Amino acid sequence: MVGAAELPEFDDLFQRPGWMRDALCREYPALEFVPTVRTIDPECVEVCRKCLFRLECLDYAIGRPSEVGCWGGSTDNQRVRGRLERLTAVELIERVDRPPGAHRFQR
Ligand code: SF4
């Protein structure tokens, strides 16, 4: 018989990255980070903006097109466009956080 101390962690079992264990979204079980509708709850985006693992999260989701929902404060469509333009997670965060109508200064 295997004791509880010998059982692998859930994240290890499914090869999920360690940062997911401490992700801020886990403290908000009432929010739907993977909604059943196409609209992302702005409250989820606000939580993501405060999360210490935002960059890791977005990088993870950029590399996995099958993942849906709010990852790193981005929507599915934003990640699709980011992949097409080969944006890094940092560049996509900059774009996602840019106020509507604001353009990046170009030299
Ligand atoms: S960035 Fe958002 S979805 Fe990703 S781990 Fe943090 S809180 Fe969760």
Q: Where are the domains of the chain?
A: 10-97
Positive or negative, the Cα torsion across 60, 61, 67, 72?
positive
Closest CA to 26 of 38, 16, 39: 16
At residue 62, does pLDDT exceed 70? Answer: yes
Q: pLDDT tens across 11-42, in order?
A: 666 678 999 999 999 999 999 999 888 899 99
At residue 88, does pLDDT exceed 90? Answer: yes
Q: Which two structure tokens, joined as six digits, stand for 89?
A: 């997670």
Rounded mean pLDDT, 78-104: 93
Q: Indicate whether this model's pTM tops 0.85.
A: no
Residue ranges lining ligand 1, Cβ < 6 Å? 23-25, 33, 47-48, 51, 53-54, 57, 70-72
Closest CA to 57 of 42, 72, 41, 73: 72
Q: pLDDT tens across 66-81, in order?
A: 999 999 999 999 999 9
Q: How far is the CA of 22 from the centre of ligand 1 (A)?
A: 9
CA count, 13 A, side-chain hemisphere, 81: 9
- In the block, tokens 């801020």 appear at 24
CA-CA distance, 61 to 63, in Å (whole number)? 5
Greater pLDDT, 55 or 7:
55
Contacts of 60 (CB under 8 A, 6+ apart): 17, 67, 71
What's residue 99's pLDDT?
86
